[in-house]
Amino acid sequence: MRIAHIITRMIIGGAQENTLLCCRDLMNTFGDDVLLICGPEQGPEGTLLREVESSGIPLEIIPSLQRAVHPLRDMAAYWQLKSLLRRYRPEVVHTHSAKGGILGRLAAWKCGIPAIVHTVHGAPFHDYQHFVPRTLIRWCETYAAGRCHALVSVADAMTEQFVRHAVAPRDRFTTIYSGMEVEMFLEADRYRESSRDRLGYEARHIVIGKVARLFHLKGHEYLIRAAGELVAQRSDVRFLLVGDGILRGQLRKQINRAGLGEFFQFVGLVDPARIPEYLAAMDIVVHTSLREGLARVLPQALLVGRPVVSYDIDGAGEVVLPGRTGFLIPPRSVEALSSSLGALAEDPDLRDRMASAGRRLCEQRFRHQVMAAQLRDLYLRVLT
C-alpha cells in the first residue's frame, strides 16, 4: 500500500515515537510505500527527525504546518498538504495530533483518499482550557471526524471522552495501544548499577523518578509538594526528573524555596533510546500529569519492573491497576501522592509484586509490531 502519515511535529514525545515506529514497521515488515509528512521542529522538546532519517523513512517537511493557530499560515499548510497528497496519491492517509489531524483529514478528504484514519493520542480539548478555545477545538474535531473513515484511540478512555462530547459515535473508534520497543525495557536492569553510580545514588537511596516535559499540566509542582512531606519522614528518598521545558527555572525555584535542593536531580532532555537506563536507576515511577492520553512512561516503567504511582487521568487506569501494578490516586492530591510513594518506599516486596504484575500486563500489549499489524488490518478493513 501507499500510506502517508501526517503529524504536526516530530518532537521527542509519545505520539511521535508511535508514528515513527509505525512508519518503520509498515515499510520493513509489510513492504509498504510510506511517506511521513510533518512541520518544522520548534521549541525545547527535542527532535526525532534524525531517527526518521536513520530509519530510511521518506520525509516531507511543510514549513507552514505549525502547532500555534495562525489562520494564514494554517491555510497555506492546508493547500500544501493537498498538493503533496495529489502528487503522492496514497491509498491511506493516517493523521496524528491536533493541527496535523484536522488539516490532514480535510486535505485528504478533499483529495478523495480511499482510507483516512486519525489517531487520538490525547484529547486536544480539556477542562483546563478557556471555554471559547475548548468549544472551538471540539467543533473542529467533530467536523474533522466526519471527514475520515476510522478513528483510533490509544486508550479506551480516549474513546469515552470523544463519545461523551459527541465528536463521533462509538462504532467509529478502535483502541490500539501505542507501540514501543518492548525488549529494551525488559532488559533495562542491566544498566541499573552503572546508571545509579553515574547519577550519584547510593544503595540505600530510594529513587523516585518522573519522565515528562517540564511543562504546564505535567504536575511537577504536586510532586515537589509531596516530596516535602515524604522527606520529613525519611531522608533516603531522592527524586529524579527526566525531561526539559519552559518551566525548568520555575520548578528549580520551588524546590529551593522548599529546601529540597539536595533531594532533586534534573537530567534534562534524554534521547528516547536512553530512557530505559534512567528508569533502571529508579525504584518507583510517578506520573502526576493532569491530562494525557496514555502516557508511554507508565507501561515503560512496568516493563522495566518499577511500580507506578499515577494520578487517575485519561488512560492511566488501563495499566495502573490499583493494588496490583501501582497506586491510582485523585488528580492534584498531594497527601495521597505522598502516602502512596511512602508505602512503596517502605516495602520492597510490594514494589516487586506490583512490578511483576505490571510486566505481565504490558509485555505483549505494547509491542510496536502488534500495533503496526493492528493498524494495517484496520487500513485493509477500511479499503474493503
pLDDT at 292: 87
H/E stretch holding 235 reads none
Give the predicted TM-score (pTM) of the model: 0.91
**Which ranges of 89-153 would DSSP assign to H, the alpha helix?**
98-110, 131-145
Q: What is the mean pLDDT of residues 359-376?
A: 96
pLDDT at 128: 83
Residue 221 near residue 252, CB atoms below 8 Å: no
Residue 46 has pLDDT above 90, yes or no: no
* pLDDT tens, position by position, 204-246: 999 999 999 999 999 999 999 999 999 999 999 999 999 998 9
Residue 42 has pLDDT above 90, yes or no: no
**Distance in angstroms (rounded) separating the CA atoms of residues 278 and 360:** 21
Residue 44 has pLDDT above 80, yes or no: no
Q: How confident is the model at residue 12 (pLDDT cuts 50, 70, 90)?
A: confident
Phi, psi of 108 (to 5 degrees): -65, -40
Q: What is the mean pLDDT of residues 124-149?
A: 92
Residue type, 202: E
Q: How confident is the model at residue 53 (pLDDT cuts 50, 70, 90)?
A: very high
Q: What is the mean pLDDT of residues 163-177?
A: 97
Kindly give the pairing relationship between strand 59-61 and strand 115-120. Answer: unpaired
Residue 133 has pLDDT above 80, yes or no: yes
Residue type, 32: D
H/E stretch holding 268 reads strand 264-268
Angle CA 181–187–192, to nearest 5: 125
Residue 332 near residue 311, CB atoms below 8 Å: yes
pLDDT at 353: 97
Superfamily designation of domain 2-179+367-383: Glycogen Phosphorylase B; (3.40.50.2000)
Q: What is the mean pLDDT of residues 67-83?
A: 95
Q: What is the mean pLDDT of residues 346-358?
A: 96
pLDDT at 227: 98
Residue 43 has pLDDT above 80, yes or no: no
Indicate if 182-362 has the same CATH topology as 2-179+367-383. yes
**Distance in angstroms (rounded) separating the CA atoms of residues 327 and 145:** 35
* pLDDT tens, position by position, 84-123: 999 999 999 999 999 999 999 999 999 999 999 999 998 8
Q: What is the mean pLDDT of residues 148-166?
A: 96
Compute the mean pLDDT over every residue in the chain, rounded to the nearest whole number.
Answer: 95
Kindly list the domain boundaries of the chain, sorted by start residue: 2-179+367-383, 182-362
Q: How confident is the model at residue 125 (pLDDT cuts 50, 70, 90)?
A: confident
pLDDT at 293: 86
pLDDT at 140: 95
**Distance in angstroms (rounded) separating the CA atoms of residues 114 and 116:** 7
Phi, psi of 213 (to 5 degrees): -60, 145
Residue 326 pairs in a beta bridge with 308, 322
- Edge-first strand listing for the sheet containing 326-329: 264-268, 237-242, 206-211, 284-287, 308-311, 326-329
Residue 313 near residue 158, CB atoms below 8 Å: no
Angle CA 128–131–132, to nearest 5: 125
Residue 33 has pLDDT above 90, yes or no: yes
Q: How confident is the model at residue 13 (pLDDT cuts 50, 70, 90)?
A: confident
- Exposed / middle / buried, residue 266 (Cβ in 10 Å: 0-12, 13-18, 19+): middle
Q: How confident is the model at residue 41 (pLDDT cuts 50, 70, 90)?
A: confident
pLDDT at 222: 98
Residue 323 has pLDDT above 80, yes or no: yes
- Cα separations in angstroms, 332 against 61, 183, 221, 288, 329: 39, 33, 9, 8, 9
**Distance in angstroms (rounded) separating the CA atoms of residues 174 and 277:** 33
What the block records as the C-alpha cell of 245 is 521545558
- Cα separations in angstroms, 131 against 126, 137, 190, 265, 331: 9, 10, 49, 37, 21
H/E stretch holding 120 reads strand 115-120
pLDDT at 357: 96
Q: Is 186 helix (H, G, I), strand (E, B) or coil?
A: helix
Residue 337 has pLDDT above 90, yes or no: yes
Which of the four CATH numbers 3.40.50.720, 3.90.870.30, 3.40.50.2000, 3.40.50.2300 does domain 182-362 have?
A: 3.40.50.2000
